[in-house]
Each structure stands twice: as C-alpha cells, then as structure tokens.
C-alpha cells in the first residue's frame, strides 16, 4: 500500500467527513440537471460551505444558474427549481432590462468580450460629414460600465454583439441611437469597483 493511501486511511479516522453533491462534468448555465450530471462524494466536514447540497434527489430536474466545473461542490445558489427553464433574464436586476447591442468585432475590442465583462457603450454618428469642432468628434458615451449578460455569436462563431443589463430609460436611448449611428464597445478594466468576486461564491475540490 502506498504511503499516500496509508496516510489517508489514518487521517480519515480523525477527520470528520460529510456527503455532498459535486458536478460530475462541466455544466453550462440554464442546463436541466440529469442524474449523470452530478454525484455524491465525501469531503472534510470542516471545510464545507453551509449552502452545499447534500443529496442528488433535490437537484434532478432543476436548472443550473451558472457554469459548473467537474468536481465543483454544488451550492443552493447555483441552481433554480421550477417547471420553466430559466434564461438570461435571471441575471438581470429587477430594476433593469436586457438589450442587445449589435456591433462588429472591429468596434468591440476585436470581439474579445466575454460574458461578465463590463463595457462602456459609445455611440458615433455615421459618416465624417457630421464632424464639427468641439463636439467630441461626433461620439458620446451612452452608458458606462454596462455588465455583459451574454455574448452573441452566429452559427459560424462570428461575433455579432452583446446583451447588456441597463436601466429602462437607458435602453430607450440606446434604441434611439442605434437608428442614427454606430455602436462601439470599450472594455472596462476588471479591477474597477464592483467587479470583485465574493470569496464564498464558489466551492471547488471534490473530484
């Protein structure tokens, strides 16, 4: 028997463990959970998150609310139960709205925008004939630090734009400006206030 196996057997006598559910494979958001998607493992009780799911029966038929990685402990906040499959509307705040902003890759940081990023939405008038000295070169920032709810690609994988969360009145402005000019997306640095990840948001291990 290997030294690791001996050490594990000795430690298991003293370390209290508890059964928890982990993802058995990588799961995309809004996926209906089947029995083969999750499994039960034993992990040290002391390190378990209080929202850890303890049995698979409560998960089967529910939907994932975020990506889950194989071996990741499933928390109550990771899933949604109900007869209707959730969509990206679950990620939009109650006082907000989701709106699609079409943009070519050349106007959106080369298409290098990911779900969860924050972007500034910039509108520019069409054509150089609109330029007048002192008018910010015909461009204005409609919204700053808009959260990207989903990146939209076509069937070939080509970047087509993003869905952002915005207040209703801002959505109205965006709709108006879309008819009169072009939209640009400027990527916001990740370390701006509000982009920090809660330390208790994820629990890993448990393969």
Domain-located, residue 205: no
Tens of pLDDT, residue by residue over 43-95, are: 988 888 999 999 998 889 898 988 899 999 999 989 888 777 778 887 888 89
Mean pLDDT of 153-160: 93
Domain-located, residue 85: no
Residue 100 has pLDDT above 90, yes or no: yes
Q: Indicate whether 148 and 126 sit together in one domain.
A: yes
For 20, 159, 175, 177, the CA distances from 100, given in Å and listed in that order, are 39, 13, 9, 13
How high is the pLDDT of residue 54? 92
Q: Indicate whether 102 and 181 sit together in one domain.
A: yes
Helices (H), the chain: 3-14, 168-178
Residue 136 has pLDDT above 60, yes or no: no
Tens of pLDDT, residue by residue over 23-55, are: 999 998 888 899 999 999 999 888 889 999 999
How high is the pLDDT of residue 160? 95
8 backbone dihedrals φ, ψ, rounded to 5°: -65, -45
Residue 199 has pLDDT above 50, yes or no: no
- Give me the percent of the chain exceeding a pLDDT of 70: 80
In the three-class reduction of DSSP (H, G, I as helix; E, B as strand; rest coil), residue 172 is classed as helix
What's the pLDDT band for 15 if we cut at 50, 70, 90? confident
Distance in angstroms (rounded) separating the CA atoms of residues 153 and 186: 18
Q: Indicate whether 16 and 64 sit together in one domain.
A: yes
Total count of domains within the chain: 2
Q: Indicate whether 19 and 56 sit together in one domain.
A: yes
Q: Indicate whether 94 and 183 sit together in one domain.
A: yes
What's the pLDDT band for 201 if we cut at 50, 70, 90? very low
Any idea which residue has 């108006």 for tokens?
A: 176
Q: What is the pTM of this model?
A: 0.62
Residue 196 has pLDDT above 50, yes or no: no
Residue 198 has pLDDT above 60, yes or no: no
* Domain limits for position 42: 3-80
Distance in angstroms (rounded) separating the CA atoms of residues 120 and 3: 55
């Amino acid at each position: 028997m290997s030294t690791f196996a001996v050490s594990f057997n000795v430690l298991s006598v003293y370390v209290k463990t508890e059964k928890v559910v982990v993802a058995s494979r990588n799961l995309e958001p809004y996926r209906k959970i089947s029995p083969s998607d999750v499994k039960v493992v034993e992990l040290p009780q002391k390190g378990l998150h209080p929202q850890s799911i303890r049995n698979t029966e409560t998960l089967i038929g529910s939907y994932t609310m975020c990506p889950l990685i194989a071996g990741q402990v499933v928390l109550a906040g990771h899933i949604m139960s109900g007869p209707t499959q959730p969509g990206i509307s679950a990620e939009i705040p109650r006082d907000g709205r989701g709106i699609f902003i079409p943009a070519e890759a050349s106007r959106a940081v080369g298409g290098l925008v990911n779900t969860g990023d924050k972007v500034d939405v910039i509108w520019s008038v069409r054509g150089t004939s609109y330029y007048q000295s002192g008018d910010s070169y015909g461009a204005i920032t409609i919204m700053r630090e808009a959260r990207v709810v989903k990146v939209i690609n076509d069937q070939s994988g080509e970047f087509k734009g993003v869905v952002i969360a915005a207040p209703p009145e801002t959505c109205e402005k965006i709709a108006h400006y879309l008819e009169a000019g072009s939209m640009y997306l400027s990527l916001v640095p990740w370390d701006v206030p509000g982009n920090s990840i809660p330390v208790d948001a994820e629990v890993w291990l448990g393969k």
